[in-house]
Amino acid sequence: MAWQRTIPFGYRMRQGEIECNAAEAAAVKDVFARYLQGESLQRIAEALTAQGVRYHQHTDCWNKNMVKRILENTHYLGDEQYPRVIDEKDYLTAQTLKEDRNSYAPCIVDMKIRAKAVCARCGARFRRIVKNRKTARWECENPACGYMLHISDEQLSAAVNALLERLANTPEVLTPRVPTSPVTSGSAQRIANELTNALNRGTESEVYLRTLIFACAAERYNELPDGSLQHKTDKLRQRMEAGETLPAELLETAVRSIRVADPDNIDLELVNGQRIGKEAADV
């Protein structure tokens, strides 16, 4: 049909070469930014329509399927034919959000909690899954494990916040301890699992596979011992001992993963290898 685009939104043909269309590329970046900030596909479509952004020459009306296609388009990562528009981190984060975002059961769990949630049985990423309009459940991404748990967003958030408060009241637990061996983070495990799944599917583009490989390598690199750990934890501990309340910084800096076994058995694995939780022995 004449109104269909032959070149993805964000690009144009100029003298036989595909280049970025400045206005459209800016709109692509805006789509990703809005989505990462929590806006729905429909809300983003309405905003683009209100701004008068044209998806193609025959209409400036957007729908959520148009927005979805932009979020899924690997050309924006850049390849032999198309210039880069979006960086790997934003693209991968958008794909992760897209997996479990559902308008009927919106997630109220902090993104930092979701990013660090792992299965206590095998250590793989624990992912929030929505199967109907009212309830959500959490599933282990490791097919060999397959552990599933029903726990409400409120219950998980309350458990993690209680553990963070407990950690804040025992700053001595943050004493750094050099790990004897690297520990795989939940994020690294998630990307490694997605890479395996993508290879098994055999339908993913070379660009997406390369992005996953580089992202996995970057996560593995980040797992190497941090020479600044002593300094970071000392500063954080000193501020806590001075009476500061730092739940967000504790979660961001001091917690490696949130290990979920069941609603009554959740613990925090700290970056120094120690754990805080009901069944974990605090050293």
Position 104 confidence tier, pLDDT thresholds 50, 70, 90 = very low
Establish how many alpha carbons lie within 13 A of residue 205's alpha carbon, considering only the half-sphere containing its beta carbon. Answer: 12
Which pLDDT value is given to residue 108? 54
Per-domain residue ranges of the chain? 11-87, 111-179+225-277, 186-222
The answer to whether 246 and 233 have CB atoms below 8 angstroms apart is no
Q: Is 118 exposed, middle or buried (0-12, 13-18, 19+ CB in 10 A)?
A: buried
Residue 22 one-letter amino acid:
A
Q: Mean pLDDT across the stretch 198-208? A: 85
Report residue 137: phi and psi, to 5°. Answer: -140, 165
Report residue 175: phi and psi, to 5°. Answer: -55, 120
Which pLDDT value is given to residue 281? 47
The answer to whether 59 and 3 have CB atoms below 8 angstroms apart is yes
The answer to whether 71 and 59 have CB atoms below 8 angstroms apart is no
Which pLDDT value is given to residue 233? 67
* Helix or strand holding residue 64 (H, E): helix 64-72
Which pLDDT value is given to residue 1? 35
Locate the DSSP E strands across the chain: 11-14, 17-20, 117-119, 126-130, 136-140, 148-149, 255-262, 265-270, 275-277
Q: For 238-266, what is each residue's pLDDT tens digit?
A: 777 777 656 677 888 888 899 999 989 99
Report residue 129: phi and psi, to 5°. Answer: -120, 135
Please, what is the average pLDDT of the chain? Answer: 80
Q: Mean pLDDT across the stretch 182-187? A: 60
- What span, in angstroms and rounded, lies between the C-alpha atoms of 153 and 107? 7
- What span, in angstroms and rounded, lies between the C-alpha atoms of 78 and 99? 23
Q: Mean pLDDT across the stretch 36-51? A: 90
Q: What is the DSSP letter of 76?
A: G
The answer to whether 105 and 131 have CB atoms below 8 angstroms apart is no
- Residue with the bigger pLDDT between 253 and 225: it is 253
Q: Mean pLDDT across the stretch 194-216? A: 85
- Residue with the bigger pLDDT between 141 and 105: it is 141
Q: Mean pLDDT across the stretch 186-215? A: 83
Position 107 confidence tier, pLDDT thresholds 50, 70, 90 = low
Which pLDDT value is given to residue 101? 58
Q: Is the pLDDT of residue 25 over 50?
A: yes
Specify which of 4-18, 114-128, 179-193, 255-269 reaches the highest per-range mean pLDDT. Answer: 255-269
Question: How is residue 196 written in tokens?
Answer: 């395996």
